[in-house]
Structure 1
Amino acid sequence: MTTTGPGIFENDAAQDFLTKLQSAPPTAVGDLVSAALRAVAQAEKPLTAADVQSALAALALLLAEFDGDVLTGATDPTAVQAWFVDLEVELTPSRRQIADATTSRILLAQDNGWADLWADSEDGRRARSTVKALRDLLADSASPE
């Protein structure tokens, strides 16, 4: 049975991506997170919903230090956040740049299976709103305190 909801972790792809990260060697997690973001930002083919959902999960992990609520829907969000913090995977300038490009690409409807999934529905508005909130959190996290 496939689970698909508008929240970041309300789908099988995001949960599977998180499981993949947690099963990976700790030194590989940062590269896997970056790869998920690049798969969307630099896609040369139409986006799949699964690629977008994995990228959103990767972005949520990177932004959880600024707002832990982005992990809502993950199994045991507090433990996930603690695990990710322990890995010391940072939102580096290059990851920030690719994350910004990722959110921009996700919000483009053209050649976007994720956008097609949510077209003209209330859940779609919620899903797009979540992406916009991540984009805003990403921008806010770059501002000096």
Structure 2
Amino acid sequence: MGATGTGPFENDDALDFLDALEDAGPDERRAKVEHAMGRVVGSRAYIEAPEMAEAIAAAVVVAASDDFESAIREPYLPRWIEDEPIEVDEGLEDLATKALHRALRPEDNEWWELWDEARATDDITERLSRYLETLGD
């Protein structure tokens, strides 16, 4: 049975991404996070829900690495983020901010469309806005 919820880690694609980060080890995590976010930020094409879910999870990993307390209530928050956070700099914060803004853009975004059909866009907007605030936006 798959996981489905409005939280950034409450879907199978995000959970698979978190598993891949955990398996990757501390030295490779940042590159994987940057790649996931970069795919959606750099694209002008339609973004499929799995890619967006990974980018959102990556952006929240960045926010939690910068301020662990901001994500403490998230189910499935990996403990390694507290012990071995990704090193966050201004460039990574900017990429995470852009990824979250892309997620909240209804055009060309399957992830948004699915939540719109479920009438949950207010909830996802509220949840992601907290991480935008953590990232200084």
List, as ranges, runs of 4+ consecutive aligned residues in structure 1 with deviation greater than 4 Å. Answer: none
Kept in 2, the 8 Å contact 1:4–1:12? The answer is yes
CA RMSD, Structure 1 to Structure 2 (Å): 1.9
* Structure-1 separation of matches of 2:100 and 2:85: 23
Q: Deviations over 1:51-107 (max 9, x none)?
A: 121112112222224243525111xx3xx24x1344352121111111121122111
Q: 1:73 aligns with which of 72, 75, 80?
A: 75
1:5–1:123 contact (8 Å) kept in structure 2: no
Distance apart, 1:8 and its partner CA: 1.1
TM-score by length of 2: 0.86
Alignment of 1:29-68 (within 5 A): 29-64=29-64, 65-68=66-69
Residue 131 of structure 1 is matched in structure 2 by: 128
How much does 1:11 deviate?
Answer: 0.6
Structure 2: gaps spanning 5 or more residues: none
Identity between Structure 1 and Structure 2 (%): 27
Partners of 1:67 and 1:88 in 2: how far apart? 9
- Rg: which structure is higher? 1
Match of 1:106 among 95, 103, 107: 103
Q: Is the 8 A contact 1:14 1:54 kept in 2?
A: yes
Paired residues in the alignment total: 135
Does the 8 Å CA contact 1:8/1:73 hold for their aligned counterparts?
Answer: no
Quote the residue 2:12 is aligned against. Answer: 12
> How many angstroms apart in 2 are the aligned matches of 1:88 and 1:121?
34
Gap runs ≥5 in structure 1: 141-145
The alignment partner of 1:57 has SS state of helix
| Shift, 1:5, TM fit | 1.3
Equivalent residue for 1:119?
A: 116
Query: TM-score scaled by structure 1?
Result: 0.82
Tell me by how many angstroms 1:124 deviates: 2.5
Deviation per CA, 1:31-69: give whole Å up to 9, x if none: 001111111211232111111211121122222242435
